Amino acid sequence: MSLISAEQLSVTIDDKQLLEDVSFHVEQGELIGLIGPNGAGKSTLLKTLIGLTEPTSGRVIFKGHPLTDLPMAARGRQIGYVAQGSICHWPMTVQKVVEMGRLPYQRLFRQKNAADIAAINAALKTFDITHLKDRLVSTLSGGERARVMLARAHAGTPHILFADEPTADLDPGHQLQVMNVLQAQARAGMACVVVLHDLNLASRFCDRLYLLQNGRLKAAGPVADVLKPTHLKQAYGIEALLGLHQDENYIVPWRLIS
């Protein structure tokens, strides 16, 4: 049984169709990549899968039941979400922001317990931000803030994590670190679904890919089946170099196709 699945999802907002008949599934232990050009519908699909956007047609199934049947508190404990370009608008420390990941487990006025503290410290360490824990988030760089928001979601120990462009604004070293962490989490049993613009990261780390174009599913499946020259030409208008190095796929966008 899929952890999350959806059949023929369509989303129309203000008379504009953002998704059309998109089907999707993710199994426990998978790292899934959503790719496609700007405006393809990737963020809309992500928000629909977690219930932030209501589908015009189709439905989302979580662990065999309609997502809409899952109470919000339970949803917060089982589904993690990192929005695109997450910004903290309040003068909060990194520690306090990461602690917010434990809110779905806490009752009013309850103090943090040992499990909370362990999860928070593990999240700080995992995303290499322990040394920043006393800094105000508003003083951090874009890449540091992105890692804080990932750590906040990670602290909630969700069954599945959705992240919208989690490597944007990160330097190459931290891009690899984040993808290594997400892959390790998937291998440990948590499912991860990430929106990516970097095709090389998608090809190297993801188990399967969904390629969207103009709100429709262009291709889905193993990396080699999705990142075909014809798909890249039609979706992105590019030619790319594809290869294998030390048993890992890589792809280099090479030139525009006129």
pLDDT tens, position by position, 157-174? 999 999 999 998 788 988
Whole domain around residue 60: which residue ranges?
4-256
Q: What is the distance between the alpha carbons of residues 67 and 185, in angstroms, rounded to a whole number?
A: 23
- pLDDT on residue 103: 84
10 Å CB burial of residue 61 (0-12, 13-18, 19+) is middle
User: What is residue 168's predicted lDDT score, i.e. its pLDDT?
Assistant: 87
Distance of alpha carbon 165 from alpha carbon 43, whole angstroms: 9
Identify the pLDDT of residue 108: 60
| pLDDT of res. 104 | 83
Structure confidence by residue, pLDDT tens digits, 5-30? 999 999 999 999 999 999 999 999 99
- Residue-level pLDDT at 109: 58
| Structural domains of the chain, count | 1
How far, in Å, CA of 228 to CA of 176, rounded? 23
Burial class (CB in 10 A: 0-12, 13-18, 19+), 215: buried
CATH at residue 226: 3.40.50.300
What pLDDT is recorded for position 36?
96
Q: Which residues of the chain have pLDDT under 70?
A: 1, 86-88, 107-110, 258
